[in-house]
Amino acid sequence: MEYLDLSPYEYRSFPLPLRNVGWLGTEWGVQGVDLPPLAAADLQLLRSASRLLGSVTLGTHRCEFCPEDAAVTGNGEYRYYLLNGDVYCAPEMVLHYLGDHGYRPPDVFLQGLRETGELEWDDRAERLRKVLLDPEADLGFRCAAVVDLPNWRDARALDAVQFAAHDEELAVIMGVEIGQSLVACLGDDLRAEDYPSTIGYGIDHARRLRRE
Ligand SMILES: [Zn+2]
């Protein structure tokens, strides 16, 4: 999977328009490598923004710049909801490209990331909430919505995740993602025993990751 930075995301369908960053491959090489290296503060910003991993079932990507026997792989993608209303999507391997191959993301993306603050409930959040609550909606969309709604620290996001947690079918299909999102919304303020075992596993898993 290789895409030019800032091109529209078309890897698969998604309930919101996204732009690509960091989908590197050998056709275009390491994009941005000729620009000055990323400032340490920007690198830190990007690392801390890359925290909610979605779509982990999509399959594995291998780094095309490392020797084949190094088998550096990633699975899943990060989505970045910026205050300016844009959404960007990068493969999990973006952190490896930044650290090991001199990848530099485009300035327009970095500028958006530098605007920090709480996201206010907006059309993106409302679209994700509606998708999650709609039993007729595409399951992949609903799973993405469960993962991404905690980007908004808003009771409506938590309500929608709780709705999914108490839906028997969703609890089986996306228990890990629901568990991860409950931890993202509530931190330690929940008990794994109160949820079905598939979700309890997700809660324990997310807590382990937070401690690492
Ligand atoms: Zn590599």
Q: Going along the chain, which residue ranges are E strands?
A: 19-20, 53-54, 60-62, 73-75, 77-81, 87-91
- Count CA within 13 A, CB hemisphere, residue 110: 15
CB atoms within 10 A of CB 81: 22
Tell how far the Cα of 204 is from the centroid of ligand 1, in angstroms: 30
pLDDT of residue 57: 60
Tell how far the Cα of 46 is from the centroid of ligand 1, in angstroms: 18
Please report, to the nearest 10 degrees, the dihedral formed by the alpha carbons of residues 106, 110, 113, 114 taken in order.
Answer: -170
Query: Do 195 and 169 meet the contact criterion of CB atoms below 8 Å apart?
Result: no
Tell how far the Cα of 172 is from the centroid of ligand 1, in angstroms: 35
What is the complex's ipTM, to 2 decimals?
0.99
The list of the chain residues with pLDDT below 50 reads none
pLDDT of residue 75: 82
Segment 142-172, tens digit of pLDDT: 999 999 999 999 999 999 999 999 999 999 9
Tell how far the Cα of 118 is from the centroid of ligand 1, in angstroms: 33
Tell how far the Cα of 66 is from the centroid of ligand 1, in angstroms: 4
Question: Comparing C-alpha atoms, which of 16, 21, 42 is closest to residue 32?
Answer: 21
Tell how far the Cα of 24 is from the centroid of ligand 1, in angstroms: 10
pLDDT of residue 212: 76
Tell how far the Cα of 10 is from the centroid of ligand 1, in angstroms: 23
3-state SS string for 183-207: HHHHCCCCCHHHCCHHHHHHHHHHH
Tell how far the Cα of 142 is from the centroid of ligand 1, in angstroms: 32
pLDDT of residue 54: 73
pLDDT of residue 58: 61
pLDDT of residue 56: 65
Tell how far the Cα of 165 is from the centroid of ligand 1, in angstroms: 37
Tell how far the Cα of 25 is from the centroid of ligand 1, in angstroms: 10
Give 161's strand partners: none
Domain boundaries, the chain: 19-114, 123-211
Tell how far the Cα of 29 is from the centroid of ligand 1, in angstroms: 12
Q: How far apart are CA 151 and CA 16, in angstroms?
A: 14
Which helix (DSSP H) or strand (DSSP E) does residue 148 occupy? helix 139-148
pLDDT of residue 157: 97
What protein residues have CB closer than 5 angstroms to ion ligand 1?
Answer: 63, 65-66, 72
Tell how far the Cα of 3 is from the centroid of ligand 1, in angstroms: 17
